[in-house]
Amino acid sequence: MDTAIQNYVRTLTLRSPDHYRVGPFTVRHNPGWELKFANYAIPDQGAEPTERDIAGLVEAFREHDRLPRLEFLPAWAPAVEPALLAAGFTEESRAPVMACAVDGLLAPKPVDGLRIAEPVTTDEFASAAAVQHTGFGGEGGPDDGEIAWLRGATADGGVSALATMGGLPAGAGGCSAPADGIGELAGLAVADAFRRRGVGAALSAWLTRTAFERGFRTVWLEPGGPDVERIYASIGYRRTGEKLNISLDPA
């Protein structure tokens, strides 16, 4: 499953019109969204980068005004992590990867008054992106890239969702377009006022179920911490491996 997930991520990156190549790396570049999680490199399978390769990668990130950063499954390219550490990169996190197959999804507890649907109007997409923006620590309004990601997920065969309670935005998230039957559940956020009510589990299950209804075979994700991992486990997600997030501090 690790290889399938990493292939999926690399395939979607190569589909992006803004990706670029540096040595044995493919860079996922988002020109309208500076968030570090939306901009990162992926090594080729089995890559053994040289010092020159890594220096070129760092230079390319800085030319694009982005933090030099990679996200990948270590088993995909075992020689890359030691080379990055030797070049001064530091580990941000080593997060578990979880996946759910069609026959593994479990129903969450119902949440009274919760309504979940795909955003359709400009205002609905803006509301969903605003929940994500503040949920991930942003200030002010959402970036253009956040709104574009949600629109793109829906347009390309994925899923986006806006949860509301009492007419107020309560949560948002998406499942990106599939590749070989695999999709990623990402960007899930719950507004502060609606946390600890089961909104996150209900929203995750809705996105996953909708993805399966659209032909996905597997949905995977990277939980943000142990508490979040337990929420996903409660609806049927199980650990399949780990993903390394690693970056170079600004010069």
Return the closest-CA partner of residue 98 out of 221, 195, 234, 235. Answer: 221
State the Cα–Cα distance between residues 40 and 247, nearest whole angstrom: 9
Mean local confidence (pLDDT), 142-149: 76
Return the closest-CA partner of residue 115 out of 156, 162, 152. Answer: 162
Instruction: Evaluate if residue 55 carries a pLDDT over 90.
Output: yes
Instruction: With cut-offs at 50, 70 and 90, classify the pLDDT of residue 251.
Output: low
Q: What burial letters (b/e) apply to 150-171, b meaning 16+ CB within 10 Å?
A: bbbbbeebbbbbbbbbeeebbb
CB atoms within 10 A of CB 102: 16
Out of 50-59, 145-154, 178-187, the most confident range is 50-59
Percent of the residues in the chain that have a pLDDT greater than 90, as a whole number: 70
C-alpha count within 13 angstroms, C-beta hemisphere, residue 251: 10
Instruction: With cut-offs at 50, 70 and 90, classify the pLDDT of residue 146.
Output: confident
Q: Which two tokens stand for residue 192?
A: 């502060």
Mean local confidence (pLDDT), 20-30: 95
- Across the chain, mean pLDDT equals 91
| pLDDT value for 211 | 96
pTM of the full structure: 0.81
Out of 27-41, 166-180, 202-216, the most confident range is 202-216
| pLDDT value for 154 | 77
Give tens-digit pLDDT for 212-244.
Answer: 999 999 999 999 888 999 999 999 999 998 999
Instruction: Evaluate if residue 58 carries a pLDDT over 80.
Output: yes
**C-beta separation of 231 from 123 below 8 A:** no
Mean local confidence (pLDDT), 158-177: 93
Instruction: Evaluate if residue 151 carries a pLDDT over 90.
Output: no
Return the closest-CA partner of residue 71 out of 247, 207, 194, 225. Answer: 247
12-26, 31-45, 136-150, 200-214: segment of lowest average pLDDT? 136-150
Contacts with 31 (C-beta within 8 Å, 6 or more apart), sequence order: 18, 145
Name the more confident of 141 and 9: 9
Instruction: With cut-offs at 50, 70 and 90, classify the pLDDT of residue 73.
Output: very high
Contacts with 112 (C-beta within 8 Å, 6 or more apart), sequence order: none
Return the closest-CA partner of residue 32 out of 150, 136, 120, 121. Answer: 150
Give tens-digit pLDDT for 77-128.
Answer: 999 999 999 999 999 999 899 999 999 999 999 999 999 999 999 999 999 9
